[in-house]
Amino acid sequence: MIAQTGHIECPPIQPRNRLVMIKRLSLPLPRRAVIALILLITACSSDTGDAPPPADPDAPILIAHRGASAYAPEHSAEAYELAIEQGADYIEPDLQITKDGVLIALHDLTLTRTTNVRNIFPARSQRERGGELRDVWDANDYTLEEIQQLDAGSWFDDAFAGTTVLTLSEVIELVRGRAGLFIETKAPEIYGERGFDMETLLLEALARHGLDEPGADPDTPVVIQSFSAASLRILREEHQTRLPLALLIEEETAQWLTPEGLAEAAEFVNGIGPDQSLLLDDQGIVDLAHELGLTVVPWTFSDDDPGEFETVGREMAYYMYEMGVDGVITNNPDLYPRRPPQDIP
């Protein structure tokens, strides 16, 4: 059987690729029926391989936001290692591009927040910030060799002094066989204006590692996500990638969560990643997305802001077991509730 996703033909789910399938199909029956349908429709998005099952196979997937970033510097080897130790199904690298065209794991366009670049290199460009021209230290103004001289750990805690910025290839090698990759293309349009093609660079990197097809390594499933619908359309329509894609949605782009927006999204992505608060505002969104064959993985759950909930564990449990989301993106993988709400710390 061939399933259609975003007009791309996807292979059927292989028997070994069962982790997410088991998790989702073990949910209560009405939800199970909906999600079974989603899995049939979005077969490409469900290749999570034969990694060891989590403590509770009923639970939605656990995605470690920038690694276990509550406890170690975001996107550091330490944060990714800890996330895997804490049972993450996926780690979540954000992508930026160096001056010499290498994909690195970094959230911001600039190096200033998470490295000591100000102390090591002078600013190489000025850009408009808050209405004024200011010195900036954009990653894209520095070569990989320069960026790898920077301390990317001390800003978080002296205990992490000397941690370096990782390339995407290094991240892949680090997690390979132990977790999946939920990769985000950051600011692809800005890089496009600067002469870089983030989508091509990403697919080339994945191909070099043999990860550019769903199920290529069942122990290391790959999902690509972005706030840029244009970037995802390029991946699906121009590059014809069959990898699962997810559209990130924030308040400014909440039109994607209307019935019309979701129907349009379903034409080119397998899932949505809304800011978690948007789902609290309208809890019908999850069911509607599921009816359209879209998985729903909200962000970001963090113990420093559990919102109206007593703890982030209870907050995630509400989304997982009451709202029925398919996964959660969290800074605290260790607080992920592997059981429904009772007894969650």
Binding to ligand G3P, residues 177-236 (CB under 6 A) = 184
CB of 66 to ligand G3P, least distance (A): 7
Segment interacting with Ca ion (CB under 5 A) among 115-123, 143-151, 184-192, 259-267: 184-192
Binding to ligand G3P, residues 266-325 (CB under 6 A) = 273, 299-300
- Euclidean distance between CA atoms 278 and 14, whole angstroms: 34
- Euclidean distance between CA atoms 28 and 136, whole angstroms: 52
Binding mask 153-182 for Ca ion (x = CB under 5 A): ------------------------------
Measured from the CB atom, is 109 or 248 closer to ligand G3P? 248
Cα angle 253, 60, 341 (rounded to 5 degrees) comes to: 105
Torsions phi, psi of 246, nearest 5? -135, 135
Cis peptide before 300 (omega within 30 of 0): yes
- Euclidean distance between CA atoms 70 and 331, whole angstroms: 5
Closest CA to 222 of 34, 9, 17: 17
Query: Of Ca ion, ligand G3P, none, which one does residue 299 interact with (CB within 5 to 8 Å by kind)?
Result: ligand G3P
Cα angle 302, 227, 253 (rounded to 5 degrees) comes to: 90
Query: Of Ca ion, ligand G3P, none, which one does residue 248 interact with (CB within 5 to 8 Å by kind)?
Result: ligand G3P
For position 79 contacting ligand G3P by CB under 6 A, the verdict is no
CB of 122 to ligand G3P, least distance (A): 28
For position 94 contacting Ca ion by CB under 5 A, the verdict is yes
For position 184 contacting Ca ion by CB under 5 A, the verdict is yes
Measured from the CB atom, is 3 or 247 closer to ligand G3P? 247
> Is the C-alpha dihedral spanning 128, 129, 133, 138 positive or negative?
negative
In angstroms, how far apart are the furthest CA atoms of the chain? 60
Measured from the CB atom, is 187 or 266 closer to ligand G3P? 187
Just list the catalytic residues. Answer: 65, 107
Cα 131 to the center of its chain, rounded Å: 31
Query: Of ligand G3P, Ca ion, none, which one does residue 150 interact with (CB within 5 to 8 Å by kind)?
Result: none
Query: Of ligand G3P, Ca ion, none, which one does residue 329 interact with (CB within 5 to 8 Å by kind)?
Result: ligand G3P
Q: How far is CA 320 from CA 249, 311, 316, 336, in A?
A: 18, 14, 6, 10
Torsions phi, psi of 44, nearest 5? -60, -30
CB of 108 to Ca ion, least distance (A): 11
Provide the 3-class DSSP secondary structure of residue 298. coil
Query: Of Ca ion, ligand G3P, none, which one does residue 191 interact with (CB within 5 to 8 Å by kind)?
Result: none
Measured from the CB atom, is 184 or 326 closer to Ca ion? 184
- Euclidean distance between CA atoms 66 and 79, whole angstroms: 7
Applying CB under 5 A, which residues contact Ca ion? Answer: 94, 184
Note the residues at the interface with ligand G3P (CB under 6 A).
Answer: 65, 92, 94, 107, 184, 248, 273, 299-300, 329
